Structure 1
Amino acid sequence: MKPLLSAAALLMLSGLTYADTISGEVHHQPLNIQAIMMFVLFVGATLYITYRASKRTRSRQDYYTAGGRITGLQNGLAIAGDFMSVASFLGISALVYTSGYDGLIYSIGFLIGWPIILFLIAERLRNLGRYTFADVVSYRLKQKPIRTLSACGSLVVVVLYLIAQMVGAGKLIRLLFGLHYHVAVILVGLLMVLYVLFGGMLATTWVQNYQSGVAARGCQLYGIEVMKSLSFDFNTLFAEAVKAHPKGIAIMSPGGLVADPISALSLRLALMFGTAGLPHILMRFFTVSDAKEAHKSVCYATGFIGYFYILTFIIGFGAILLVSANPAFKDTTGALLGGTNMAAVHLANAVGGNLFLGFISAVAFATILAVIAGLTLAGASAVSHDLYANVIKNGEATERDELKVSKISVVVRYCSYRAGDLV
């Protein structure tokens, strides 16, 4: 039930549409040398992190859970890194840009899900589970049916979440470099394969720690630059945004995203309970040493994520004020270059020029890499640990064979995604 709810939430996430990305024409933009340099720097740093982590990944436990050696703070940062994704960074700020106050419906819905995880899930997962959520739910139920159902639900969520991240990558690459969506998919996919194949959970955790740190600093710089131009007066920000937005004062009231109360309730339930069913989030509670550290990780993650969502609200209203009325960011038809999901990227150019644009673009790309690594590892563990080791082999698979299947599934998933993308 929970994975399906989270899938429903992700399918609607932030207006990032797969069809829009792959069908649109390539916008040929001048090469941004600063952005390219930032990209190379960030990708090089994550590859070095993966190399260091690979030296410490030896066993199945190391690969799936980093040996249970992750601290509450590190795990909280990694969870925040999963949520501070490009879909949230670009999508929620774009929702605020187009709908104003209603853009907060997603961030608030996700945050409400964290007390559920803290009080009902985190401790039980850590005490009963080993590598996946299915280890817990199959504890008192029949192994094969529940593991099969859980693994299939996890894979559905992983695929939907990956689509949102790949769409963000395609939009970003196309806007900055004039390259096609398929190029972004190939690049991100290859890096993802390297992270998961060689570094496992430890590399994924370190990359997510790195990514969440730079993402939080980048968004904080965003907020400071936007508010500095308004003398740090929120009343001025909202008043000027109302004047600049086509909907006027309507952006300061709810009701623009959903058509009726039933739809609003359905969306809120999907966001709230869906958060508690995300497989790559649940898997993170097996990486800490005990239930106390699991609780700490949820508290740290909630604080970082809440702060991030507040900043996306400022970014969205700042984009209304500084981007929507600037013809430099529009095409010949008056539409925003790259679509409304690129509002935050254009805002970086508006407040800090090409250098800040390069930094923010690299941060956005780093979030894609980190989140995709976590998703891929969650999908690989569902295939190898739940389906192969416990359903097909009845729990008699060797550790070496299980790891081999996990790594093969990573490569197969990437190849199948590329084949489907080309078709």
Structure 2
Amino acid sequence: MTGNHQTLALLLFSVFVAITLGITTWVSRHRHGSAEDFYAGGRLFSPMENGFAIAGDYMSAASFLGISGLIALFGYDGLLYSVGFLVAWLVVLFLVAELVRNCGRYTLADVVAARMRERPVRIAAGTSSVTVSVLYLVAQMVGAGSLVALLLGGTSGAAQAWTVVGVGALMIVYVSFGGMRATTWIQIVKAVLLMGGAIALTVLVLLRFHGDFDQLLRTAAQRSGHGTAFLAPGLKYGGDWTARLDFISLGLALVLGTAGLPHILSRFYTVPTARAARRSVVWSIGLIGGFYLMTIVLGFGAAAIVGPDAVRGSNAAGNTAVPLLALDLGGGAGSTGGTVLFAVVAAIAFATILAVVAGITLASSASVAHDLYASLRRRGAKPRSEVAVARAAAVGVGVVAIALGLLARDLNVAFLVGLAFAVAASANLPVLLYSLFWRNFTTRGAVWSVYGGLVPALVLVVLSPVVSGSPASLFPGVDLQYFPLENPGLVSIPLGFLAGWLGTVTSAEPPDEAKHAETEVRALTGAGAV
């Protein structure tokens, strides 16, 4: 990239970072220091504001950079991510949003522990939530590194490393000083910027082909080198049965994983009522649906205009397809229009990463403080001390995410998020659904359900081609590959549900009918909800 690109994009980066730090500073001066203010923003946000914040939290680097890159490289098979991420919101809307808002206070463990023995349940759910959050954080770090490496020369390993460290430091500042209120406003600003950027790029792509989407698809197929196979299923997940099962496994993880993501569930606590939580989801579905439709145009646009070879040459995983597309749409390298559009898109992508990272870090630090510390080790802990622990936890989570982000910086960000979704669907979703809908569910069932999904998911990832055994693995020189699928969801999700059932039917502890009845009334009516 030319010096003009670097200067302008870095200037826009700096402007956004300055704005977000300003928001954080303003909020930190007006905070009350209570747990409700830090975790839930005082429950003061309207459904529209929270809907924009949910969309800002959900439309991550995987959405903007990773999905478009996968479509540019693999055509039809890359669409699975767009479809899976969008369909997942139906599960959230109809099964989770309102009930979670009524049953919990700040975290997933609140919902499960409402009718169980708290200590073992909170340890299990808190551990699972932190694990999912860290996996999701790694994807955002990798996206930030790829973006800035492209800006500073395309192959700058040092730039990638320093970017990962910088993003980690910023997210620690946002969460430690601003809490949920600052994080929410950062996500709202980011959602507006991202939607505006996606709309502008989509319009420019369609104008390039005179509004003829069919011509866009035909051109993409021609430049792909695969012909019509580019527009048909099977380019990435076709062929042998292993690839087909991987396709099914990924689809299950994407559709079911959203309802188990800690940073999404925590957003339902920032509104005053369950009805507001449900309306928030409706707002977010409209925004997210429109955005994922645009990623389809952007992905095929990158294939048709930039070409898969150029995309792969810039970043093997395809993470830089959208910035390269913006550069071409603006007039090409060296042109003023190309420089401006590239810089704007790069800044929006960077804003996307910072906002999502802040939300995930807040959710994971809340799990550490509210579940693993305040409710377990010190039952009499005051809210103010719990918030202090949450701020310290944000630092610890940030350091771990930085280290893993440096390790996994050559993997596709959408693929990395798929792994996080698989763990969420395996460990968090079964225990959540059982707690809300199964009258006889017990404490043993809850603990077994979490660990019965979490441990197999992590073990299968370690034994998969993702970690070793192939040239694209994290450790290509090692071969520990015993599990053929890249995504563990097909095996680990059923195991999570099976473990929960098995733990319940073998439990000597009778289910607490009174607690279940109380939880059921509270979940369905909101009576007694915080």
TM-score with structure 2 setting the length? 0.71
Aligned equivalent of 2:266, options 283, 298, 308: 283
Is 1:138 paired with 2:113?
yes
Q: Within 1, Cα distance between the matches of 2:227 and 2:49?
A: 43
User: Structure 1 pair 244/158, CA: closer, same or farther in 2 (3 Å)?
Assistant: same
- Give the structure 2 partner of residue 70 of structure 1: 45
Letter paired with 1:45: I
- Give the structure 2 partner of residue 16 of structure 1: none
Aligned equivalent of 1:270, options 244, 247, 253: 253
Post-superposition Cα deviations, 1:98-125, rounded to whole Å, max 9, x if no partner, equal 1112111111112222111111111111
Letter paired with 2:296: F
- Give the structure 2 partner of residue 348 of structure 1: 326
Aligned equivalent of 1:398, options 382, 393, 397: 382
Letter paired with 2:306: V
Letter paired with 1:137: V
User: Structure 1 pair 422/264, CA: closer, same or farther in 2 (3 Å)?
Assistant: closer
- Give the structure 2 partner of residue 323 of structure 1: 306
Post-superposition Cα deviations, 1:381-400, rounded to whole Å, max 9, x if no partner, equal 00000000111123x11112
Q: Secondary structure at the match of 1:117?
A: helix
Letter paired with 2:39: Y
Q: Within 1, Cα distance between the matches of 2:290 and 2:403?
A: 39
Letter paired with 1:343: A
RMSD: 1.7
Is 1:45 paired with 2:19?
yes
8 Å Cα contact 2:67-2:295 kept in structure 1:
yes
Aligned equivalent of 2:360, options 372, 375, 394: 375
Q: Within 2, Cα distance between the matches of 1:298 and 1:61?
A: 21
- Give the structure 2 partner of residue 223 of structure 1: 202
8 Å Cα contact 1:169-1:185 kept in structure 2:
yes
- Give the structure 2 partner of residue 13 of structure 1: none
8 Å Cα contact 1:336-1:343 kept in structure 2:
no
Q: Within 2, Cα distance between the matches of 1:313 and 1:80?
A: 18
Is 1:33 paired with 2:3?
no
Q: How does 1:12-411 map to 2 (within 5 A)?
A: 30=3, 32-58=6-32, 59-178=34-153, 179-259=158-238, 260=241, 261-324=244-307, 329=310, 335-339=312-316, 340-352=318-330, 353-394=338-379, 396-411=380-395
Post-superposition Cα deviations, 1:133-159, rounded to whole Å, max 9, x if no partner, equal 110111111111111111111111111
| Structure 1 residue 264, shift from structure 2 partner | 2.7
Post-superposition Cα deviations, 1:54-80, rounded to whole Å, max 9, x if no partner, equal 233212111000011111111111111
Letter paired with 1:409: A
- Give the structure 2 partner of residue 11 of structure 1: none
8 Å Cα contact 1:126-1:285 kept in structure 2:
yes
8 Å Cα contact 1:29-1:175 kept in structure 2:
no
| Structure 1 residue 325, shift from structure 2 partner | 7.5
Q: Within 2, Cα distance between the matches of 1:176 and 1:148?
A: 42
| Structure 1 residue 356, shift from structure 2 partner | 0.4
8 Å Cα contact 2:142-2:406 kept in structure 1:
no
Q: Within 1, Cα distance between the matches of 2:77 and 2:198?
A: 20
Letter paired with 1:56: H
Letter paired with 2:313: L
8 Å Cα contact 1:113-1:276 kept in structure 2:
yes
Q: Within 1, Cα distance between the matches of 2:393 and 2:78?
A: 36
- Give the structure 1 partner of residue 453 of structure 2: none
8 Å Cα contact 1:57-1:66 kept in structure 2:
no
User: Structure 1 pair 319/389, CA: closer, same or farther in 2 (3 Å)?
Assistant: same
Letter paired with 2:351: A
| Structure 1 residue 418, shift from structure 2 partner | 4.3
Q: Within 1, Cα distance between the matches of 2:124 and 2:181?
A: 27
| Structure 1 residue 420, shift from structure 2 partner | 6.0
Q: Within 1, Cα distance between the matches of 2:246 and 2:150?
A: 33
Q: Within 2, Cα distance between the matches of 1:241 and 1:370?
A: 32
- Give the structure 2 partner of residue 3 of structure 1: none
Q: Within 2, Cα distance between the matches of 1:80 and 1:419?
A: 27
Post-superposition Cα deviations, 1:152-209, rounded to whole Å, max 9, x if no partner, equal 1111111110110000111111110245222101211121111101110000100000
Q: Within 2, Cα distance between the matches of 1:37 and 1:345?
A: 16
User: Structure 1 pair 325/152, CA: closer, same or farther in 2 (3 Å)?
Assistant: closer
Identity of matched residues, %: 43
Q: Within 2, Cα distance between the matches of 1:325 and 1:168?
A: 19
Letter paired with 1:162: L
8 Å Cα contact 2:138-2:405 kept in structure 1:
no
Q: Within 1, Cα distance between the matches of 2:406 and 2:324?
A: 29
Q: Within 1, Cα distance between the matches of 2:210 and 2:400?
A: 51
Q: Within 1, Cα distance between the matches of 2:222 and 2:400?
A: 48
User: Structure 1 pair 386/325, CA: closer, same or farther in 2 (3 Å)?
Assistant: closer
The 10-residue stretch of structure 1 (43-52 or 59-68) with the greater mean CA deviation from structure 2 = 43-52
**Corresponding pairs, count:** 389
Which one scores higher on RCO, CA 8 angstroms, separation ≥ 6? 1
Q: Whose Rg is larger?
A: 2
| Structure 1 residue 419, shift from structure 2 partner | 5.4
Query: Where does structure 1 lack aligned partners over 5 or more consecutive residues?
Result: 1-27
Q: Within 1, Cα distance between the matches of 2:189 and 2:247?
A: 35
8 Å Cα contact 1:71-1:288 kept in structure 2:
yes
Query: Where does structure 2 lack aligned partners over 5 or more consecutive residues?
Result: 331-337, 408-530
Letter paired with 2:200: L
8 Å Cα contact 2:138-2:402 kept in structure 1:
no
User: Structure 1 pair 348/187, CA: closer, same or farther in 2 (3 Å)?
Assistant: same
